Amino acid sequence: MSNVSASSSGVRRFPIRNGFWLVALGAALWGVDPLFRIILLKSLTSSQIVLLEHVVLFLAAVPVLWKQRFELKGIGFRQIGALLIVSWGGSAVATILFTMALSSGDLNAVLLLQKLQPLFAIGLAAVLLKERLPQNFGPLIILALAGTYLLTFGWSIPFSEVNSFIGVGSLMALGAAALWGGSTVMGRYLLGSMKYETVTSLRFIMALPLLFIITTMEDAPWQIHGGYGASAAIAINLLLQALLPGLLSMLLYYKGLSTTKASFATLAELSFPMTAIIINWIVFKQHVTLPQIIGFSLIWTALFFISSQQSKTANTPEKS
């Protein structure tokens, strides 16, 4: 795939740096996702949760896609392939894997492996989109990942045995990280020829048939554990999950991604663990520790300099 310029497609409508921070804001909203998802796991399976979430998102996306239907005429085989990776891989399979990992794996392993997503995205962006990395990008990656580690584990070493790291939950988290990294790159590719509203809508709509098949293959796929008396609570949590960390976050994310390189955007996504820490502090009354404060500061320092590098790189013409 060739490198895609947002400016050539008329997508750029706001400053480059604003796009980077919109990606960070959209990713930050993902931090509230486990708040709803863990509650729903008490009554629903992982695939049921993701399917019902996408049903809500489907209802919101159809009117938007109908309004932007003229863009569908120019879709080629490459765009279809990219859409399948974004919808089936990033929106459907990766979300199921992550949800299953939350309930079946070592939580520390799940959190750490999910943070490897930037490495997948940066590698794929360099190969597929031919993105060139600026100076000092490597140290900034290390700084951001170090901050993420401190947010998650503090000063402690998370794994006392290799078996706690290499397990089913860990493999699921690693698969989710790889699929989300690929989804970031493919989303950036699609935004070279489509509006962010169209990409967001197609992501949710195209994932629905696959999710329906996966859920149908389960034993008693339509059974709700805990009885139908829990339906009201399930409906409220599903609606909030679908609209906040689902629809709103992805609209912000793709609008920002339209003017942000995939290799930069994937590091902006590290705003996610910071939101999770704040949620734990406010909702679950977990105290914020000194390592977490240091990790928070390291991530924001890295994001600030990455944002500056993104702006400088965008203003520097690339050789064709």
> Dmax over Cα atoms in the chain, in whole Å?
62
DSSP secondary structure of 47-89:
HHHHHHHHHHHHHHHHHHHHHTGGGGGG--HHHHHHHHIIIII
Q: Which amino acid is at 99?
A: T
pLDDT at 230 over 70: no
Average pLDDT over residues 48-62: 90
User: pLDDT digit string (tens) for 169-181?
Assistant: 767 877 888 998 8
Going by C-alpha positions, the residue among 122, 107, 123, 94 that lies closest to residue 269 is 122
Among 38-42, 68-72, 221-225, the range with the most confident prediction by mean pLDDT is 68-72
Going by C-alpha positions, the residue among 150, 197, 196, 183 that lies closest to residue 269 is 183
What rounded mean pLDDT belongs to the chain? 79
Domain boundaries, the chain: 28-139+162-269
User: pLDDT digit string (tens) for 67-92?
Assistant: 989 999 889 999 999 999 999 999 89
Q: Quote the pLDDT of residue 134.
A: 63
Comparing 16-20, 44-48, 84-88, the range with the smallest average pLDDT is 16-20
Q: In which residue are the tokens 């993105």 written?
A: 131
Q: Is 317 exposed, middle or buried (0-12, 13-18, 19+ CB in 10 A)?
A: exposed
